[in-house]
Structure 1
Amino acid sequence: MNDTTPRGAFQTVRRRLLLAACAVIVTATAPAPALADLVGVLPRVKPSIVAVGTFQRTRSPAFQFRGTGFVVGDGRLIVTNAHVLPDAVATDKMEALVIAVPGADESAMARPVVRIAADRERDLAVLRLEGGPALPALTLARDERVQEGQEIAFTGFPIGAVLGLTPVTHRGIISAVTPIGIPQGKARDLNPALVRRLANDVFRVYQLDATAYPGNSGSPMFDPRTGEVIGVLNMVFVKSTKENVLSDPSGISYAIPVEYVNRLLAGAR
């Protein structure tokens, strides 16, 4: 029996319908492009990005930018890099540690914060917002490590002191999950900080196929599909340990895994 018979024609139509149904199912279940996801996610991410610095009314400029931070938890906790924070604040000269909220009116732009926790070994710090309304918070991912090749995005203030406090977003991938303490070929290449890390606490960081800039330190690295934070950008601590090329940066960027943020927050509460 061939396809010119009524039965053959019916089977042909049936096959075509099954193929069309399969195509619809595949199309419906295929993941949406990350770029399209990022367009929808960014309006939820950007309100949680803040600039970290110090404020002193009598100097010019009154606000001195030091790095990026992002809001988590109840809207009063800010995560950033420990090296972003000053060693001391001149409170006797009315200097204060603050965050600047982009887009806020002038009276609410600089808001005081206090340091409540720090992990110097992983260059992380947590600040608490003093007074005023809470800010929109980002969601932290669970502690599972991300996969090499996974797409990421991060938002912060690259060269913020020059380009201004407009949140800027970059995209890339996780190019490697690599140890922060790398054994040196010669004894003279070792330094006390590296020796401590090699002996006590070697941990892995994310190497990114994306370019970050001074000012991006403390930026949240997030999943562009969901907006969940999976790491914290680092532009000084990791690069000085792994590359020692701060005077001639390589363009490689790094991030601290979110699991260390979760641990620090758990101990701070």
Structure 2
Amino acid sequence: MNVKWFISIIMTIILISGGILGYFHIKNTIPAQLTAPSKLYLESEVVEKENVPQALKEIIFESQKLVVKIELPDGSFGSGFLYNDKGDVITNAHVVANARDVKVTSADSKELTGEVIGISIDTDIAVVRVPELEGSQPFKLAKTRKAELGDDVIALGSPLGLQNTVTTGIISGVGREFEIDSFKYEDVFQISAPIAPGNSGGPLIDTKTGEVVGINSATMDQGVIGFSIPLVNVIPMIESWSASPMESLPRIGANTTGNSAGETSTNADIAEYLVNYFYESINYRDYVTAYSLLGSSWQSKTAYEDFRAGYLDYLTIEVDDLLTKQNGNKVEVITVITAQERSEKGVSYKKFKVTFELGLENDQMKILSEKRESME
């Protein structure tokens, strides 16, 4: 046999054997190595988001939606706030004293019917059930902790009371005790946030957590010091009424007639509130709420998508001035606004005179029309 042929055959056998061995090496070892993380990717750590407290304005805006006005047949009113998903509203006993059925007005001016399902004759606490609010998201409650001296708080009143609707302050005293008519106030908060007539029954909110820590209940004659019942002290009684409503309600003392909220509102007051609430909603990009304040005629001419698109380029709208006029059965609200608007050229400020007409639709105040004039 030729030597060259012999060498060629030997080299071919070696190459084939090497290929076979290489194949099995790759098959058996490489897949095992692929179970390790690729070094081409940086290992990532799971970082928990910090629980950043809500901004004060955001807490106020979101909280206002859960505060209601409670009105008696004599026209007097107080406040209340939604505390569970059954539609139950906490308020003061003196706000609903000696009444079973009350009118409840929500922040968007819807008039609802409420029934008093629990009331105390000596602690200034009551619960009103509003079936139409069932299923709504309620306030966060501080059921197991009590606010402490120096804590920052917000006192919210009736959304349609307009006078001192929102006040801020601190817990300036604890453990206060006194009596008003038949009610005994024991271990209550003293707060620097003033409480005006009509604010009774509204929530006292911790600005850091957004939780309700108390029920605003009384004020000094001068109006610079308020008092709030700690929620943790009365939550067991409140929850017992929600679980088992009272079949009959006790009569509150002779000196407490249910009108000690001491304030009545007019259509002009409500109209002024609704215009302010309309612009607040726009500023917080809550176009659904703003649209819900419009009358049916305006809504029929303007689809929600078009309404929303008309405000998307406004970063903020500031109400500079506001004048309310009663015009027969309707109310005219004239306001001057400054709008911060973005465009392809950048951000600019524009001033407008806006005239709103408001009126009642199905016993609810609605914004019927808007006329906007540039003041540049």
TM-score range, shorter chain: 0.5 to 0.7
The answer to whether structure 1 residue 178 and structure 2 residue 175 are counterparts is: yes
Q: Which has the higher strand share?
A: 2
Of the three residues 202, 211, 218, the one matched with 2:194 is 211
Q: Distance in 1 between matches of 2:228 and 2:132?
A: 30
**Secondary structure in 2 matching 1:180:** strand
Contact 1:159/1:214 (CA < 8 Å) preserved in 2?
A: no
Once the two structures are superposed, residues 42-78 of structure 1 have per-residue CA deviations (whole angstroms, 9 ceiling, x without a partner) of: 23211101000135xxxxxxx8241000001115000
Distance apart, 1:122 and its partner CA? 2.1
Between the two structures, name the one with larger relative contact order (CA 8 Å, sep ≥ 6).
1
Change (3 A) 1:131 1:44: closer
Alignment-mate amino acid for residue 54 of structure 1: L
Q: Which residue of 2 aligns with 1:76?
A: 87
Query: Scaled by the length of structure 2, what TM-score is found?
Result: 0.46
Contact 1:51/1:65 (CA < 8 Å) preserved in 2?
A: no
**Secondary structure in 1 matching 2:208:** coil
Is there any run of 5+ residues in structure 1 with no aligned partner, and where? 1-27, 56-62, 90-95, 183-190, 240-244
The alignment's C-alpha RMSD in Å is 3.1
Distance apart, 1:251 and its partner CA? 2.1
Contact 1:41/1:226 (CA < 8 Å) preserved in 2?
A: no
**Secondary structure in 1 matching 2:227:** strand
Of the three residues 228, 242, 252, the one matched with 2:225 is 252
Q: Which residue of 2 aligns with 1:140?
A: 141
Of the three residues 8, 32, 55, the one matched with 1:37 is 55
Q: Which residue of 1 aligns with 2:296?
A: none
Once the two structures are superposed, residues 78-115 of structure 1 have per-residue CA deviations (whole angstroms, 9 ceiling, x without a partner) of: 000000014246xxxxxx412111214xxxx2111111
Work out the percentage of aligned pairs sharing the same amino acid: 25
Distance apart, 1:193 and its partner CA? 5.4
Query: Scaled by the length of structure 1, what TM-score is found?
Result: 0.63
Change (3 A) 1:252 1:131: closer
How many residues of Structure 1 are paired with residues of Structure 2 in the alignment? Answer: 194
Q: Which residue of 2 aligns with 1:263?
A: 236
Once the two structures are superposed, residues 132-160 of structure 1 have per-residue CA deviations (whole angstroms, 9 ceiling, x without a partner) of: 65433101102322110111012113882
Change (3 A) 1:49 1:131: closer
Q: Distance in 1 between matches of 2:102 and 2:181?
A: 30
Contact 1:234/1:254 (CA < 8 Å) preserved in 2?
A: yes
Query: Which structure: larger Rg?
Result: 2
Once the two structures are superposed, residues 18-41 of structure 1 have per-residue CA deviations (whole angstroms, 9 ceiling, x without a partner) of: xxxxxxxxxx99x97x8x721222
Q: Distance in 1 between matches of 2:225 and 2:159?
A: 15
Alignment-mate amino acid for residue 138 of structure 2: A
Q: Which has the higher helix share?
A: 1
